[in-house]
Amino acid sequence: MQSNASMRAQLGAVIIATSAIQLANGFFGTFISLRIGKEDFGATMAGLVLSSYFAGFTLGALRCGRIIERTGHIRAYAAFAGLVVAATAAMPLLVDSLSWLLLRAVVGFGCAGLFVTTESWLTAKARPSERGLVFSVYMVGTFLALALGQLLIGRAEIETAAPFNAIVALFAVALVMVSTTRAEPPVPSAAVALPYGQLSRAAPVAVAGCAISGLISSAFYALVPAWMQDEGVERETIALFMLAAVLGGLAFQVPVGRLSDRFDRRIVLAALSLGFAATAIILVQLPSSLPVALPTAAVLGGFMSTLYPVCVAQAHDRMPVDRVVAVSSRLILVSGLGSVVGPLIGTSIMAYFTIDGVVYFMAAAAFLLAVLAWWRSATTAAAPHLQRSFDILAPQATPLAHDPLGSYAESPPSDPVGAASEAD
């Protein structure tokens, strides 16, 4: 039996290592958007390169569980980190659109594997009484690391290989930390299959919301930095703008979570979607000055980062407890597909209508979600919040909802609410 101090040290090492990865990932996401803007890839290939990360991420989130079960958490973590390191190191050596498309997909696959390994490790090893605290520390570390990653943009020499080397170094440090920790591998849990169509019938708002959330967030993080650079905005200002969006996401998590747990989540989702649409339009109309743009970016990031967690919680309200893992996997797929489409559509729109067209496109998508959520709330009864509370989920990693199976294993309800036969 491990002592509390030993277990906390192991979990602490995993959390710190993953924070280093998120630091690299936050920097990498904005940096690659700026670097692609410097390359002559064309609008279509630029969109494909930016979308390939999300495609790889989605595939990794869905498939890496088998790798973890077969090799164990520590070896799987090393394998995924090695993939990311190798692909990142190869990018400055192979500067062409097709190579970067493939390499970014590999990076996405590896990052998804790292996050799934970490979160399943924390879920399995943290004591039930401390699981909430452990994940709170984990998510705060994730948000702060993503925010700090944006600040590094201001000092990066975009045209050189130095940013790639810095990213490789951060992933290597995380690999060393986890590979040298002494830990017993968690015992994998069996998942219950979920037939296709069952989730969309039970929770159509959640499914549509996950797709739209992925589309909006991927278009924002992939395209906004590149556009700002093309407009001659200083990199320090780009970093501050993206930092404000990430910190706004952190600030909105707890209050939105409390509202979501108290009221019909579809009403909350409709309000968040309308808030995002209105803020996006306001951002286009306001003067381009830091005192105005930064608070608006924070509000926009807050609305954007809370759409997916509310959808996840609403979906689990409608489904039985034994399908928690299957529901999370299906939502990962839906959100990932939206994330792939976002930059593809966005780059095409931006080629003709600049960033204003992209912002209006995101606002229109959010408005459609608001209408759907409000209509369903007005025509069907809300599900009781018995199975899944709101989870804090970080931007750029939103497709990875925490696996809460351990939380339900101690006392599963005898009559699960929201069976698939019920309508949303």
Domain with residue 261: its CATH number is 1.20.1250.20
Count of structural domains within the chain: 2
The whole-number average pLDDT for the span 377-389 is 69
Angle at 126 between CA 313 and CA 327, to 5 degrees: 25
> For residue 339, what are its two tokens?
């994330």
% residues pLDDT > 90 (the chain): 29
The answer as to whether 20 is a domain residue is: yes
The 10s digit of each residue's pLDDT in 239-281 is 899 999 999 988 898 888 888 888 888 999 999 999 999 999 9
pLDDT digits (tens, 9 = 90+) for 102-128: 999 999 999 888 888 887 777 676 666
Is the pLDDT at 233 greater than 90? The verdict is no
The CB density around residue 232, as the number of other CB atoms within 10 Å, is 6
Which of 154, 183, 212 marks a domain boundary? 183
165 and 219 part of one domain: no
- Whether 421 shows a pLDDT value over 70: the answer reads no
Q: How confident is the model at residue 284 (pLDDT cuts 50, 70, 90)?
A: confident
Q: How far is residue 16 from each of residues 65, 144, 157, 327, 342, measured CA to CA in Å?
A: 22, 12, 26, 29, 31
Could you give the CA distance from residue 218 to residue 206 in angstroms, rounded to a whole number?
Answer: 18
- pLDDT for 1 beyond 60: no
Same domain for 160 and 199?
A: no
What integer pLDDT is reported at residue 414 of this predicted model?
Answer: 38
Encoded tokens for 175: 């690999």
Inform me whether the pLDDT recorded for 401 exceeds 50. Answer: no
Q: Give Rg (Cα) of the chain.
A: 20
Determine, yes or no, domain membership for 268.
Answer: yes
Q: What is the pLDDT of residues 131-180, one digit of tens each?
A: 666 766 777 888 888 888 888 888 888 888 999 999 999 999 888 887 77
Q: Last residue of some domain: 150, 183, 216?
A: 183
Is 340 a domain residue? Answer: yes
Residues 245/220, Cβ–Cβ less than 8 Å: yes
CB-based contact 313:28 (threshold 8 Å) = no
Same domain, 173 and 198: no
Helix/strand/coil for 126: coil
Instruction: Judge if 133 and 160 occupy the same domain.
Output: yes
Q: Looking at 183, 211, 235, which one is the last position of a domain?
A: 183
- In this predicted structure, the answer to whether residue 309 has a pLDDT above a threshold of 90 is no
- Give the residue numbers spanning the domain of 89: 7-183
Average pLDDT score over the chain? 81
Does residue 240 fall inside a structural domain?
Answer: yes
Q: Identify whether residues 213 and 134 lie together within a single domain.
A: no
Q: What mean pLDDT do residues 225-233 have? A: 85
Structural domain contains residue 188? no
* pLDDT for the residue 312: 82
* Mean pLDDT, rounded, for 276-300: 90
Residue among 106, 155, 150 at smallest CA distance from 396: 150
Question: What band does 404 get if pLDDT is binned at 50, 70 and 90?
Answer: very low
Tell me the helices (H) and strands (E) count for the chain, helix number first.
13, 0
Residues composing the chain: 424
Q: Each residue of 23-34: pLDDT tens digit?
A: 998 899 889 988
On whether both 140 and 268 belong to a single domain, the answer is no
Give domain status of residue 95, yes or no.
yes
Residue 385 or residue 91, greater confidence:
91
Nearest CA to 267 out of 310, 215, 232, 331 is that of 310
User: Given pLDDT bands bounded at 50, 70 and 90, which one contains residue 349?
Assistant: very high
The span from the CA of 153 to the CA of 176, in Å, is 25
Q: Are residues 162 and 234 in the same domain?
A: no
